[in-house]
Amino acid sequence: MQLSSRLLRVIFGVCCVGTAGCYEVLPPPHVKTVAAPDELRLINPDEFRVNSDSYPEYVAVSRVEEPPAVFRYRTAPIEPTDSWRVTHRIGERLLIYSEQYEQRQCQYEITQATAPGDVGRIDRHGQCRSAPYLYYLFITADGEVRGWKLLKNPQRVVLARDRRLSPDAEEGTSDGWGRQPLFRRK
């Protein structure tokens, strides 16, 4: 009898602990809840995505031989032949992206990489695939560069929350762009 009483207590305890996270905690009736602010000010970039067809395309006024590095990553030159499309708008700042530049940057990173597979790979068609980050630029509508922004490649992200990021340009990339405006409408 004593053994079965202890056994029942253990089973009851395991069941209570095992299901503790399974039930949603509801606030009492008539209590309004407010979401806590994100102290890091992280955003989901998909919430700021815009229709690129509603914005002009941009091109560089001239070749940018050595754009500012992003963290420890050197960046490939920006060519006037690269077509940059507006993909996101955060306040008055536009995020622009160029498929031509991304391919060149990825191939540049692959040639500079110390460990294979860290930065992406070239497929059988010569296209760069699986880069961990995509290179975007913050600009004003007048074409003045405000800095780089790296977005995690959606092809390499498992959970949506892993794409959350700061809405600001990458640290140290706002300066060193030379004469502005660097971009003009195509």
10 Å CB burial of residue 106 (0-12, 13-18, 19+) is: buried
User: In this structure, is residue 143 part of a structural domain?
Assistant: yes
User: In this structure, is residue 148 part of a structural domain?
Assistant: yes
- Which domain covers residue 107, as residue numbers? 45-185
User: In this structure, is residue 127 part of a structural domain?
Assistant: yes
Per-residue pLDDT of the chain (186 residues; tens, 9 = 90+): 555 767 667 676 666 555 545 444 444 454 444 444 455 678 888 889 999 999 999 999 999 999 999 887 789 999 999 999 999 999 999 999 999 999 999 888 887 766 655 666 677 777 777 788 899 999 999 999 999 999 988 877 777 777 788 888 888 888 889 899 999 999
Q: How far apart are CA 163 and CA 154, in angstroms?
A: 8
User: In this structure, is residue 13 part of a structural domain?
Assistant: no
**Which of 158, 132, 162, 125 lies closest to 45 in space, CA to CA?**
162
User: In this structure, is residue 87 part of a structural domain?
Assistant: yes
User: In this structure, is residue 19 part of a structural domain?
Assistant: no
User: In this structure, is residue 20 part of a structural domain?
Assistant: no
Q: How many domains does the chain have?
A: 1
The residue assigned the tokens 């294979």 is: 116
User: In this structure, is residue 75 part of a structural domain?
Assistant: yes
**What's the pLDDT score for residue 115?**
60
Question: What pTM value is reported for the model?
Answer: 0.73
